[in-house]
Amino acid sequence: MKNLRLCDMKPNNKAIINAVDTDIPAVKHMKDMGINVGEEIICLFKSPFSDPTAYRVNGITIALRKSDCADVWVSLYEENGGNNERV
């Protein structure tokens, strides 16, 4: 299983959210947007300077700053013949 920070995902990566640090200032706002443990998240694209980055979670597209998602940990899916499997 490959774990990494949400801010380190690359466009078109799909992952499951593993952990959200509750000490970050925007944690309530992020949870309201769907950044919750167990949710599937897709990195859609990064802006030219990689901040902010667009993600899709629960069918909603959101933009998050790198500083806000540095303490969110995810497990990447591995693309395998069209099937998404956790790495």
- Record the pTM: 0.82
pLDDT tens for each residue of 15-60 = 999 998 877 777 788 888 889 999 999 999 998 887 899 999 999 9
What was the pLDDT predicted at 45? Answer: 93
DSSP label of 70: T
What was the pLDDT predicted at 84? Answer: 54
- The count of C-alpha atoms lying within 13 angstroms of the C-alpha of 55, restricted to the half-sphere facing its C-beta, is 32
**Domains and their CATH numbers in the chain:** 3-78 (2.30.30.90)
